[in-house]
Amino acid sequence: MLLDTKAMRHLTAEDWRVLTAVEMGSKNHELVPTPLIEKIARLKGGASGVHKSISALAKVGLIARMKEAKYDGYRLSYGGLDYLALHTHASRKHVYSVGSRVGVGKESDIMIVADDQGTQKILKIHRLGRISFRTVKTNRDYLKNRQSASWMYLSRLAAIKEYAFMQALREEGFPVPEPIAQSRHTIVMTLIDAPPMRQISSVPDPAALYAELISLILRLAKHGLIHGDFNEFNILIREDKTDDDSTTTLTPILIDFPQMVSMDHQNAEMYFDRDVACVKRFFARRFHFESTAPGPFFKDAKKTVGRDGVRRLDAVVEASGFTKKMAKDLEAAIRAQEANPKSDAGESEEDSEEEEDDEGESGSEGGEEGLQVIGDQVVENEEGLEKLTINDGT
């Protein structure tokens, strides 16, 4: 499921209201009945206006009707949720244009976007629905009869959690992108102009970079945290030159936080050891570097948690509204996804069974390469970004 913003600029103010109404209705309904959509949207044009918008939205795949429905109703598609999130980012002036996709992870799409000043940023769209919910359903009860709400819920949780951690880490001076905004299942953050470590074939001083990464793991631990996916994909390596250009230092920047856990987590030791082992393995294979120092060990790191009066960021994040229940729900989904590596190719099985023409006319093909025109006026810059505007004046 790619972000395809082609249809965005054709939506009217009424269409946006109806789309928002479907989103609101899906909080309590697997399938939002048309009369409820009418009631929430309260369009001046009454029922006929709503029907017009419903068919416009369904045509471009932002809402979908289910085949076996006992009553007339709709549900929001991934595309519909993407549009609502982008709409919010655009109204708040965080995003003005949408460029190409730079990365696709197991759980997300990464797009380059820009604001109206032309500053490029990263839009991360969480897509927890790529897993088969059957696996998750076997051990969680929150999905009871709520399959389509579950991907929205889980993807939104991932974005909320990632945003909260990025904010806390950033405030503490950790090398992470700056979180700019969060809406629904998406985050806008600063673009880091640096390749992932996976793309680096050699470094002048592997021992120094290794030490830096291990100290990052230990610093996180002192603040009560384990990254949980500390690998060569999630560590960007930025080259910083001194003013006179004589020396270059390599600065690791950490990304990807939905799977972070507390040092108090019941499996903390396993996650800590796994993060350390990941760095060791990569350095041995790629840079033929093996540290002579043993460890670091979890039991030593554990003793440092909160030491010297440092803030425990696991507690900060919990206080930010990311509750234990949310953490549990998200963790179950992420673990299921980890255990299910083959299921990352598209929407969940159940989605595809239930959907009727979910992609509609806009489809999702070809969105990766081309430019996506969403605004009423096209402004092309050298990066191939195009203007994103909204036309409902809200």
Ligand X SMILES: Nc1ncnc2c1ncn2[C@@H]1O[C@H](COP(=O)(O)OP(=O)(O)OP(=O)(O)O)[C@@H](O)[C@H]1O
Residues making contact with ligand X (CB under 6 A):
102-103, 105-108, 110, 122, 124, 177, 189, 191-192, 196, 233-234, 255-256
CB of residue 108 to ligand X, shortest distance in Å: 3
Q: How many CA atoms lie within 13 A of 213 on its CB side?
A: 28
| Residue with smaller CB distance to ligand X, 63 or 255 | 255
Rounded Cα gap, residues 259 and 161, in angstroms? 9
DSSP string, 27-48: TT-SSEEHHHHHHHH--TTHHH
User: What size, in residues, is the chain?
Assistant: 394
CB of residue 388 to ligand X, shortest distance in Å: 19
* DSSP-assigned beta bridge partners for residue 66: 355
Rounded Cα gap, residues 61 and 43, in angstroms? 21
- Pairing assessment for the beta strands 248-254 and 63-65 based on DSSP bridges: unpaired
CB of residue 344 to ligand X, shortest distance in Å: 9
Set 82, 229, 256, 314: catalytic member? 229
In this structure, what token pair is assigned to residue 206?
A: 């592997």
Burial 99-111 (b: 16+ CB within 10 A, else e): bebeeebbbbbbb
CB of residue 271 to ligand X, shortest distance in Å: 15
| Residue with smaller CB distance to ligand X, 73 or 179 | 179
The residue at minimum Cβ distance from ligand X is 105
229 is catalytic: yes
Q: Phi/psi at 331 (nearest 5 deg)?
A: -60, -45
Other C-beta atoms lying within 10 Å of the C-beta of residue 219:
16
CB proximity list for 8: less than 8 A, separation 6 or greater: 83, 86, 87, 374, 388, 390
CB of residue 105 to ligand X, shortest distance in Å: 2
CB of residue 232 to ligand X, shortest distance in Å: 9
Q: Phi/psi at 79 (nearest 5 deg)?
A: -60, -40
The letter for the amino acid at 120 is Q
| Cβ proximity of 129 and 348 under 8 Å | yes
User: Distance between alpha carbon 209 and the CA centroid of its chain, in Å?
Assistant: 28
| Residue with smaller CB distance to ligand X, 75 or 130 | 130
- Could you give the angle at the alpha carbon of 384 between the alpha carbons of 378 and 386, nearest 5°? 30
Question: Crossing angle, helix 147-171 and helix 324-338, to 10 degrees?
Answer: 110
| Residue with smaller CB distance to ligand X, 15 or 347 | 347
Rounded Cα gap, residues 230 and 169, in angstroms? 15
| Residue with smaller CB distance to ligand X, 23 or 256 | 256
CB of residue 233 to ligand X, shortest distance in Å: 5
| Residue with smaller CB distance to ligand X, 122 or 330 | 122
| Residue with smaller CB distance to ligand X, 20 or 120 | 120
Which residues belong to the active site? Answer: 229
